[in-house]
Structure 1
């Protein structure tokens, strides 16, 4: 499921309430190599079910559930009724005296456990309306040819059947027949539901039948309740299911449609045959067909018969409002599948769902060629009310998505067909084993889709503040236990980054990809644990990674690498140099350094993680032949270093005569000069950025002498206001998601400071204490001056100005509202001044890059626009 951190918000534009802890005292180093390189990390040895090498053992087993489902959709009542016939096979070595099933529609009951544990403020997984849940009419058990009414009990989202005689081990079977029905909720906790469009309702149907719980060799019955955040853990089997619905509806579902000639008219069959042979998207049902409403069999009801083999679940969707297009998927083994999309006419444009099938086709083909071949005959993308949710061969994506947003959510949801649909991990316990792994796949995929059309290189140093903030929780946490605002980091972003670090910094692509593909192949259609993954990666890559698994997945340790010192033997730079790097926090990772010498020579040095096995400092000899003018740790910002301010070392002192005042004057002159800046009475800047595929818009206004306004919105979330900041003299307010942010006096001073278009004009007269650091700094490879400004007790601003251009390129705010902002691409605007058209910061724990789209100068912005 695609998780949008946007809806949880944090104060944007640079303000966040979490920051890294400065560690200026070397005696306060937290690093302890004995904790990192622990020789007894692995708790268990291999056994006959799961080997020490991470593979299924010689006696590995798993149970099986085959389903025959027959239901009817009543669109007048928004209701489903039908029967489920489950053939359950006990392959375990244990006799089973009782069986457990999931009845997840019960989450929508007013008396559900999920409702009782939902915050009163609501949330993504909270009910908005209630139903009666799964209404069980009758249950029968057939065993050894004898059918009897079942003895059962329903506890919230779980149903237990108590057997008269135990189901024997080693392949014994029984059948369970359940007669049931339920009312379809309009909002199904963002996993199912129905959406009203101008041409009719769209039904997205999931968790629509009673499902067997998993009985495995790890926990026996897995009966954790369904509360919303934790997803699913399911047995594999074949699904033979029939959906009977009004003939005007188009029905799509997991697996292969077995009776196309009975439900499609001749025109549809012809177009569908064309699509199966086409690499270009073919329209099967267009807007004209939808409006005409007669492109279906002339019957009141139709039954759509599907078969999905070797799957862990099935889902389906139905609507008379669906447009429909499709194209061929080319698989590496020579087989083909069908990519298709269904969506309402409201979103048919080529900047929105008109490209959906292209996205589906490319995602499936890329994942198949890179990792493991797609296993279903059809891949269907459904536009509806669900923001993003995955099922075998079919996904539900928000109808409002477009462009990068639609690629992002489509790519993500279909990536789930590998994790957890093919590799059947326990999502209820280990969200990171599907969401994190899949997010990693998405990042690899997006780099190459359409030559990187939607790829944006991530700055992991900026991401670090969100992934490793003071309220961080370990990845190895049950999703229902994770705080909602940290679910995105712990389940998605941090595990994905961990795999990226392994692939790019520790193992290399060749070793990582072989090991990762080995894991997928070993555990395809099986139930791996985290330890199976860890052991497989270690063994197939040939590397003991226990130190990495421990620090990255089980702890909230942070990374803070830096350069401590550079010296020269006998003080002679021609004899080489001694460079000392340091590890100040608890996490250890390899080190990459970019070194530049006075003679123009540059080199990149890579040091393995083992340099940290004997302590938190490491000195090595570098064969320089002249003085080193700069050395930078992690120059490409690939690691989540929480304190990048100590990552660079410059051997250059500030030139004689330079002062804080002279640096500030050079900057003011570079952007237009004092007089032109003072002539700016008001200024409005409109910019756009992207976070997780969603467009974010920022409007900033200034009016002299002391008015400031900034609002950040997400258009695709009904113009959700993420943050709203206003300064009007001494009246200062900040809101996020329509909630006031409490500000102390220092926080107000910081916002007021940031609320000036050109704060440098006021530095001296405002009485700020300014100090020019004695050494030049390195900022993204550029030499820069650092000017520190104390604006209040407990609040310090560090500005960095490019030595060559004089322009301000970075700012770090330390205090109750910490932030890091970088600027670039200065361009001239009305009034003869220059402003940065590129703004890099952190939004909601994610690196954000805003580009200025429009400016307005001296337009007499009214006072009413500052509220």
Structure 2
């Protein structure tokens, strides 16, 4: 499932209020004994699961085969029918009772999910109610005879109590359940229906009673369905029929078995063409929607699907669907079909008309990289659901466009590997599907269409949000994780961990071999976290218990620091002794970029094991001249909470340089203080992409104390992510379309962050400027650091290029504040303005590119009230 963090709690770019970023002088928190504990693994292999992370010789899992027959009533918006379940008990245990999931009960007003939802609502909160699963009859079928079963329903679970235990080692039982339910309009963003100009779109999931998993770890897995946690299901074949009005297009998981009965000859020909085409072929056009000849001349049709060796199926239906498709080429030479169905309102090359291209490419890339796609069809449905995955079919927000549509499509189809192929327990371990999937999404996006939507990750900028105070450990059930941190704990943090393993610890070749081994071992089986950890350790040939311990089990943080630069016998030509410190709790490898006075540069890579004996390490660097700069993690691949101490300069600052002279040099560099003071107003239009979503930033200033910062998502009806408006001492704030009350002290922070050329005020009474006694490195450029204390006591730091005088970076001196970096200065009516600014929003690195800068356009004071 896709978490679009645009709609989670917004951390202001450069103005966050909570956190615990390290500061100079803080003592180290590091304790190597807590990281490199020898007691991380406390279980041995057994007859079911080996110590090496593979299924053992006597591994077993039960099986559930389904035959489902239902009808869709588009007047009453109901699904009614029956399901026949053949359940095979492959366990060594007799089963006196069986447990099933009846997930439609989450939509009842008296559901446990409703009782445990916060009053402020959220993505998984009911917006309306139904009667849930209306169970009309439960029967045990024995020798063709139906006998009423003894059953009880508790919220989203049904227990069937058997007269005689279901015997072990392959014995079967047949169950028949008659049921029905009303389709909710909003089904906790996993299913639902929406009315478009050409009719309702139905996205149907969790739509039949399903067997709970009985395994060798917990026995029956009966965690209730509360919304955030997803599913844990048995594998089997699912044969299902859907009877619906004839003018509807129905698509679902698996293969359509009766195309000649439900499709016209023309539609069949177009499908045949698509199966042989690498380019998208239209199957059903806008003209076909209104044409009565585009479907068989009957009142209703029954669509028959079969999905083999699957844990679930889902389907969609609508008379509003346009439909296109193309061929998928799989590594072993087999072919599959990529297809998309969506309303005509969202067609277009910047939107859903490229959906099938996205589907085809992500399936081909994942199949080549990790494990071959196993379903005959991959279908993307545009409807009300923001992003949800099922075997061979996904539901994506019909309003998604461009990179946003690629991202959600790529993410949801990535789930066909985790957890559809590798069947982990999503109810307990969301990170084993969401985190693994987010990781492969990033690998895939880097390759797709030569990186069309790729954005290099900046882990340093993401660190304050990923390691925020109150963060939950990855190893938690999703319902325990706080709503505004689920995106980090289940998605981004485990994905970053795998990226670090792949790129910094194991290397791509070793990691990829181990990861593929894990997938192959556990395809269509039920792994635990320990199976994953053991499998990666053994296949990669590395004891990674220290990494699993620090990254997945707790909330340790990272803060690497350069402490000192010394020379052998005081002579730089004999070599340099560079001392680094580990100030946080976490151990990770070190990459140090070293620059010498003679212009030479070098890179030193050190393994995480340097931290086994403590938090300080000194290494020898074969220098030939004095060291001008040492920078740790120069490419920002690690989530270091305090990158300010990642660099140490060997250069001494000229005694003639002062804070005042640095500020003067900056003002001179951008055009001179007098020129800046003569500005009446300025408007900057910028754009960026946030998690695939285009965002627009309009910044306005009017001398001397008026500003407006307007950040919106145009594709979401100009959804206001952040709007800050200031007039003198009065500042107003809107986050996520909601006005926010701003305390007086917070208004000062906003003014300091968003104000107009604040350097003009630094010479006034009440300001205190302090020049740091060492040079700093900002993206490879040597810079002066000035700490500014405002008259109200608030603080910030700014960094100015030693060579050009231009401002390179600024950050409010508040915990977890996101720095802003500046580049690409261009002339705007005699004043140099940065056209490129980098910051982070929601912990995601964002780069704003200015498209225009307008000066002295006559902005009125009223615009800032």
TM range (shorter): over 0.9
* Equivalences for residues 363-762 of structure 1 within 5 A: 363-739=362-738, 741=740, 743-762=742-761
Give the equivalent residue in structure 2 for 1:848. 846
- Distance in 2 (CA, whole Å) between partners of 1:457 and 1:414 is 22
Change (3 A) 1:766 1:458: farther
- Distance in 2 (CA, whole Å) between partners of 1:301 and 1:745 is 65
Shift of 1:144: 5.7
- Distance in 2 (CA, whole Å) between partners of 1:595 and 1:326 is 53
- Distance in 2 (CA, whole Å) between partners of 1:9 and 1:852 is 26
- Distance in 1 (CA, whole Å) between partners of 2:843 and 2:11 is 10
Shift of 1:146: 4.7
- Distance in 2 (CA, whole Å) between partners of 1:484 and 1:381 is 27
Q: Cα deviations across residues 284-313 of structure 1 (Å, max 9, x unaligned)?
A: 111121233530001010000000000000
Q: Cα deviations across residues 4-40 of structure 1 (Å, max 9, x unaligned)?
A: 11111324332212344334336x2110011110001
Q: Cα deviations across residues 432-466 of structure 1 (Å, max 9, x unaligned)?
A: 00000000000000001000010000110000011
Q: Cα deviations across residues 497-522 of structure 1 (Å, max 9, x unaligned)?
A: 00000000000001000000000000
Change (3 A) 1:765 1:646: same
Q: Tell me the secondary structure at the aligned position of residue 356 of structure 1.
A: helix
Give the equivalent residue in structure 1 for 2:179. 180
Q: Which moved more, 1:386-395 or 1:815-824?
A: 815-824
What TM-score does the superposition give when structure 2 sets the normalisation length? Answer: 0.98
Give the equivalent residue in structure 1 for 2:198. 199
Q: Tell me the secondary structure at the aligned position of residue 804 of structure 2.
A: coil
Q: Cα deviations across residues 665-692 of structure 1 (Å, max 9, x unaligned)?
A: 1111111212221222122222222121
Q: Which moved more, 1:407-416 or 1:567-576?
A: 567-576
- Distance in 1 (CA, whole Å) between partners of 2:178 and 2:765 is 76
- Distance in 2 (CA, whole Å) between partners of 1:627 and 1:144 is 89
Shift of 1:569: 1.5
Contact 1:460 1:641 in 2 (8 A): yes
Shift of 1:863: 2.9
- Distance in 2 (CA, whole Å) between partners of 1:605 and 1:71 is 64
Q: Which moved more, 1:621-630 or 1:769-778?
A: 769-778
- Distance in 1 (CA, whole Å) between partners of 2:163 and 2:19 is 60
Q: Which moved more, 1:479-488 or 1:723-732?
A: 723-732
Shift of 1:766: 4.6
Give the equivalent residue in structure 1 for 2:22. 22
Q: Tell me the secondary structure at the aligned position of residue 510 of structure 2.
A: helix
- Distance in 2 (CA, whole Å) between partners of 1:862 and 1:777 is 40
Q: Cα deviations across residues 744-770 of structure 1 (Å, max 9, x unaligned)?
A: 544322222223221111110253111
Give the equivalent residue in structure 1 for 2:150. 151
Give the equivalent residue in structure 2 for 1:803. 802
- Distance in 1 (CA, whole Å) between partners of 2:765 and 2:315 is 65
- Distance in 1 (CA, whole Å) between partners of 2:815 and 2:519 is 45
- Distance in 1 (CA, whole Å) between partners of 2:306 and 2:728 is 67
- Distance in 1 (CA, whole Å) between partners of 2:15 and 2:25 is 26
* Equivalences for residues 209-288 of structure 1 within 5 A: 209-288=208-287
Taking only aligned residues, the RMSD between alpha carbons, in angstroms, comes to: 1.3
Give the equivalent residue in structure 2 for 1:295. 294
What TM-score does the superposition give when structure 1 sets the normalisation length? Answer: 0.98
Regions of 4+ moved over 6 Å: none
Give the equivalent residue in structure 1 for 2:858. 860
- Distance in 1 (CA, whole Å) between partners of 2:765 and 2:330 is 67
Give the equivalent residue in structure 2 for 1:812. 811
Shift of 1:167: 0.4
- Distance in 1 (CA, whole Å) between partners of 2:55 and 2:627 is 53
- Distance in 2 (CA, whole Å) between partners of 1:745 and 1:343 is 49
Contact 2:572 2:626 in 1 (8 A): yes
Shift of 1:796: 2.0
- Distance in 2 (CA, whole Å) between partners of 1:400 and 1:285 is 20
Give the equivalent residue in structure 1 for 2:350. 351
Change (3 A) 1:143 1:550: farther
Segments of 5+ residues of structure 1 without an aligned counterpart are none
- Distance in 1 (CA, whole Å) between partners of 2:861 and 2:211 is 63
Q: Cα deviations across residues 552-607 of structure 1 (Å, max 9, x unaligned)?
A: 00110000001100101221111110011110010000000111111111111100
Q: Which moved more, 1:450-459 or 1:833-842?
A: 833-842
Give the equivalent residue in structure 2 for 1:6. 6
- Distance in 2 (CA, whole Å) between partners of 1:602 and 1:81 is 71
Contact 1:339 1:378 in 2 (8 A): yes
Contact 1:70 1:82 in 2 (8 A): yes
- Distance in 2 (CA, whole Å) between partners of 1:247 and 1:342 is 17
- Distance in 1 (CA, whole Å) between partners of 2:583 and 2:316 is 53
Contact 2:328 2:336 in 1 (8 A): yes
Q: Tell me the secondary structure at the aligned position of residue 62 of structure 1.
A: coil
Contact 1:98 1:161 in 2 (8 A): yes
Contact 1:747 1:817 in 2 (8 A): no
Segments of 5+ residues of structure 2 without an aligned counterpart are none
- Distance in 2 (CA, whole Å) between partners of 1:740 and 1:387 is 25
- Distance in 2 (CA, whole Å) between partners of 1:199 and 1:827 is 50
Contact 1:54 1:535 in 2 (8 A): yes
Give the equivalent residue in structure 2 for 1:67. 66
Change (3 A) 1:701 1:272: same
Contact 2:22 2:641 in 1 (8 A): no
- Distance in 1 (CA, whole Å) between partners of 2:87 and 2:248 is 33
Q: Tell me the secondary structure at the aligned position of residue 68 of structure 1.
A: strand
- Distance in 1 (CA, whole Å) between partners of 2:334 and 2:21 is 55
Change (3 A) 1:766 1:346: farther
Contact 2:468 2:816 in 1 (8 A): no
Contact 1:707 1:755 in 2 (8 A): no
- Distance in 2 (CA, whole Å) between partners of 1:521 and 1:817 is 41
Q: Cα deviations across residues 73-128 of structure 1 (Å, max 9, x unaligned)?
A: 01111111001001000001111111111111111111111111111111100111
Q: 2:833 aligns with which of 825, 832, 835?
A: 835
- Distance in 2 (CA, whole Å) between partners of 1:177 and 1:85 is 4
1:774 counterpart = 2:798? no
Contact 2:705 2:756 in 1 (8 A): no
- Distance in 2 (CA, whole Å) between partners of 1:697 and 1:419 is 34
Q: Tell me the secondary structure at the aligned position of residue 472 of structure 1.
A: coil
Q: Which moved more, 1:781-790 or 1:655-664?
A: 655-664
- Distance in 2 (CA, whole Å) between partners of 1:33 and 1:168 is 51
Q: Tell me the secondary structure at the aligned position of residue 41 of structure 1.
A: coil
Q: Tell me the secondary structure at the aligned position of residue 861 of structure 1.
A: coil
Q: Which moved more, 1:745-754 or 1:519-528?
A: 745-754
Shift of 1:857: 1.9
Contact 2:753 2:812 in 1 (8 A): no
- Distance in 1 (CA, whole Å) between partners of 2:258 and 2:229 is 36
- Distance in 2 (CA, whole Å) between partners of 1:500 and 1:864 is 49
Change (3 A) 1:243 1:488: same
Q: Tell me the secondary structure at the aligned position of residue 7 of structure 2.
A: helix
- Distance in 2 (CA, whole Å) between partners of 1:490 and 1:771 is 39
Change (3 A) 1:817 1:865: farther
Contact 2:15 2:814 in 1 (8 A): no
Q: Tell me the secondary structure at the aligned position of residue 819 of structure 1.
A: coil
Shift of 1:738: 4.6
Change (3 A) 1:792 1:67: farther
Contact 1:20 1:643 in 2 (8 A): no
- Distance in 1 (CA, whole Å) between partners of 2:285 and 2:515 is 42
